[in-house]
Structure 1
Amino acid sequence: MTMIELEVIAGIDTHADTHHVAVIDTTGHRLGDAGFPTTLKGYKAIAAYIAAFGLVRRVGVEGTHSYGAGITQHLKDSGVRVVEVIRPNRQVRRMQGKTDQVDAYAAASAALATDDHPEPKQLDGLVEAARYIHAARRSAVKARTATRVQIKSLLVTAPEQIRARYRSAADTALFPALARSRPASEENMLTRTIMSSLKSLARRYQHLTAEIDVLEADLEQLVLQINPGLAQTKGIGTVTAAQLLITAGGNTDRLKSEASFAALCGTSPIPASSGKTTRHRLNRGGDRHANSALHQIALTRMTYDQRTRDYIQRKQQEGKGTKEILRCLKRAIAREVFTLIISPVPVVDYRKLRPLRQERGLIQVQAAAALGVSIAKISLAENGRVHDATFLTTYETWLRNTDLTP
């Protein structure tokens, strides 16, 4: 007689140095729990420990993209289905207490309760590489901003002869001037110390700027490899495109619908009706970095995109306020971004535009006049600095259909 193998569900409470694993069956009966180190040997031991109880249906892990990243990837590589579980709220913790064992069994119970759990993000591939570069850039930008503020603050309290020297200088001239300054020997000790400190800060600012430029160039190359169509969409730059790709993750199949992506980005409509008022408000949940990226795209399009300005005008005629219009706009952008991420579109290779124009015997002035744009836009398009797939397609089509060579 063939014995039916017991199906089990596991839960893992993750920490920096140890993970606690609990195993239950499909009825919720507790089968066992144990702690393991967060090493490759420990990960192998966790997988073997869970499998020893029976057929593993799924494993619920807390923090799949933080402390649980290593064990999540190891289990997925071993063919085990891993789902992300949310830790119990504080009210439940107060009633049940808190230990690693309690949290591990809670994770297992949460994984058992339903199949509708979020799938963990893919922790390898180009999107994960972009996440690291994006994080390094964000840190550098934050440090550069702090350095700029510090320089400005020190100049405010500096002696008058120093303030007068740099009062009218714009940032583009101020920081290079401070970086190459040399305190004169005849100046007093305080002046020499102030100028030396300002020079050090200015050089730090320049170093951070150079670092940001390198990181942005690397990030641009990755974004173009991952989803060039997203990078060429109007109003979406390299940094915002990278953030949206990072939020979506490398395994985009985990996004069930465009509504789920909107909720992930914190742009899903939240009912805020009361009495005779029927309205929705901005969602304050979700990934705030992704929400910020959508906000930047919305602001850019509100300024430069005629289609967006027409949309805003229609919403104003419907009686909607600024916040409500912005919520609607961000929701619409999230829908567009989701489509581009799930179904990438073919794009124009900007590197072929300049050779194609030269092959046709055309100059930038002629192209600008024919398309009704500035010469600068033609130049930016040929250097990959125009994020407008419609214009790039129009430019390429015009080049292919125009020939002035004898």
Structure 2
Amino acid sequence: MPTTKPNVYAGIDTHAKTHHVAVIDELGRHLDDHEFPTTAQGLTAIYAFLVSFGTLIRVGIEGTASYGAGVTALLRSYDITVREVIRPNRQARRNGKSDPIDAYAAAKTVAADDTLPIPKLLNGPIDTIRVLLKTRHSAVKARTTAIRQIRSFLVTAPYRVREAYEHESARQLITGILKATPRHDDVFLSTLQLLARRHETLATEEADIEATLAPMITTIAPALIAMKGAKTVTAAQLLITLGENAERIHSKAAFAALCGVSPIPASSGKTNRMRLNRGGDRQANRALHTIALNRMSNDGRTRSYVAKRVGEGKTKREIIRCLKRYIANEVYRHVTRPQEVPAIDDLRPLRQSKKITLQTIAEEFGVWPMKVSTIERGKSRDDEFASRYRKFLLNAA
């Protein structure tokens, strides 16, 4: 008679050069553990080792977004259920620490809890966006450091240099320093020019990266980047937070919690209240905050909402919290259930064919010419305005 294969669980403790794998049965009994190199052959051997014990139910892996990314991708390619196991804190390691102990602990954790988080998929287009955005962040930091150094050096600079660039804006300061012609022995001014050139080089890097990101985001999530208030950088960050496999986030409430915009109960005794969630992905929270501020400045509906909530006695901080939760819900909908983005590439040719200027359109609709231009170029989105604008152009003589 054929024997039924037992159900087993596995845990993997990941490192840069080696992974330690442990397997347990349904009762938590240790079956075997082994160390494998993190080479292509080693990862294949891990899969063969895991399936040799029976029916593999789940695998818990530590560091799925770092050292464990390769083995996570391999196991998922074989349709094996993988869950992310958070490394235990030091206080919980009463039995000591070693690679086998950590691997068995991961196996026991994943066997006991089927609600552990699903790892993000890496090495896809969104992971490329993540790499580009991190590179841009480092360029922004370095550029900020360069301008701060220039201003700091000017505090103790020779009087003639300090007087020449006093009260200059950042743009004027950089331009002025680059235009200066230092004497051959003026090392101080030459150093300032070195920092100013670094500042300009980094600014060019930022612009180049944004130019690369924009079409990538438009291809992956056109509804997201077309959302009111969203720009290239904020849309990129929100895509990174959602990940390649956005289905791992099962609801808009879960995404709000991931972004730190969900209220948390803070009640005790007779006190019944909620408090702000200070957890989650802080970069995603910052992106939602930026979109909220953009809408408060440029979107009529949002300004009306703000005025209404102010009349109800809400503070600006409370109103922004409400807006961030609403925007998080909108982002989740745009990525998981995207709607078709209406085309606007016909507006500018149609206006030009009728020889109508931007100023004329702006006066007709009571907006700034820049708004009309950004909508024509797809830099911002206002479907209602675009529809009325198209209707006006079609009816124009």
* Correspondence 1:384-395 to 2 at 5 A: 384-395=378-389
Determine if the alignment matches structure 1 residue 367 to structure 2 residue 361. Answer: yes
Secondary structure of the 1:96 match is coil
AA paired with 1:217?
A
AA paired with 1:366?
T
Residue 296 of structure 1 deviates from its aligned partner by: 1.2
Residue 282 of structure 1 deviates from its aligned partner by: 1.5
- 1:225-278 deviations in Å (ceiling 9; x for gaps): 111111121111111111001100121111100010011111111123456553
Are residues 138 and 387 of structure 1, via their aligned partners in 2, closer, same or farther at CA, if it must alter by over 3 Å?
Answer: farther
* Correspondence 1:280-295 to 2 at 5 A: 280-295=274-289
* Correspondence 1:56-75 to 2 at 5 A: 56-75=56-75
Secondary structure of the 2:346 match is helix
Residue 367 of structure 1 deviates from its aligned partner by: 2.1
In 2: Cα distance, 1:283 partner to 1:381 partner = 35
In 1: Cα distance, 2:387 partner to 2:67 partner = 45
In 2: Cα distance, 1:164 partner to 1:46 partner = 68
AA paired with 1:354?
R
* Correspondence 1:370-385 to 2 at 5 A: 370-385=364-379
AA paired with 1:88?
P
Match of 1:165 in 2: 164
Residue 402 of structure 1 deviates from its aligned partner by: 2.7
In 2: Cα distance, 1:220 partner to 1:394 partner = 27
In 1: Cα distance, 2:387 partner to 2:63 partner = 43
Match of 1:259 in 2: 253
* Correspondence 1:229-244 to 2 at 5 A: 229-244=223-238
Match of 2:39 in 1: 39
Determine if the alignment matches structure 1 residue 296 to structure 2 residue 290. Answer: yes
Match of 1:218 in 2: 212
Residue 23 of structure 1 deviates from its aligned partner by: 0.7
Match of 1:103 in 2: 102
In 2: Cα distance, 1:398 partner to 1:274 partner = 59
Counterpart contact for 1:13–1:100, Cα < 8 Å:
yes
Are residues 319 and 378 of structure 1, via their aligned partners in 2, closer, same or farther at CA, if it must alter by over 3 Å?
Answer: closer
Are residues 343 and 398 of structure 1, via their aligned partners in 2, closer, same or farther at CA, if it must alter by over 3 Å?
Answer: farther
The 10-residue stretch of structure 1 (156-165 or 327-336) with the greater mean CA deviation from structure 2: 327-336
Counterpart contact for 1:84–1:119, Cα < 8 Å:
yes
In 2: Cα distance, 1:42 partner to 1:249 partner = 27
Counterpart contact for 1:348–1:393, Cα < 8 Å:
no
Secondary structure of the 1:340 match is helix
Are residues 160 and 366 of structure 1, via their aligned partners in 2, closer, same or farther at CA, if it must alter by over 3 Å?
Answer: same
Residue 372 of structure 1 deviates from its aligned partner by: 2.1
* Correspondence 1:7-406 to 2 at 5 A: 7-93=7-93, 95-185=94-184, 189=185, 192-273=186-267, 277-399=271-393, 401-404=394-397
Are residues 254 and 337 of structure 1, via their aligned partners in 2, closer, same or farther at CA, if it must alter by over 3 Å?
Answer: same
Residue 390 of structure 1 deviates from its aligned partner by: 4.0
AA paired with 2:253?
A
AA paired with 2:169?
A
Residue 60 of structure 1 deviates from its aligned partner by: 0.9
In 2: Cα distance, 1:316 partner to 1:106 partner = 52
Q: CA RMSD in A?
A: 2.0
Question: How many pairs does the alignment contain?
Answer: 397
Are residues 40 and 389 of structure 1, via their aligned partners in 2, closer, same or farther at CA, if it must alter by over 3 Å?
Answer: farther
- 1:1-23 deviations in Å (ceiling 9; x for gaps): 22111221111111122111111
Residue 393 of structure 1 deviates from its aligned partner by: 4.3
Residue 217 of structure 1 deviates from its aligned partner by: 0.7
Secondary structure of the 1:118 match is coil
Counterpart contact for 1:58–1:81, Cα < 8 Å:
yes
Aligned sequence identity (%): 49
Q: TM-score, normalised by structure 1?
A: 0.92
AA paired with 1:294?
L
Unaligned runs of 5+ in 2: none
Unaligned runs of 5+ in 1: none
In 2: Cα distance, 1:96 partner to 1:42 partner = 29
Counterpart contact for 1:178–1:198, Cα < 8 Å:
yes
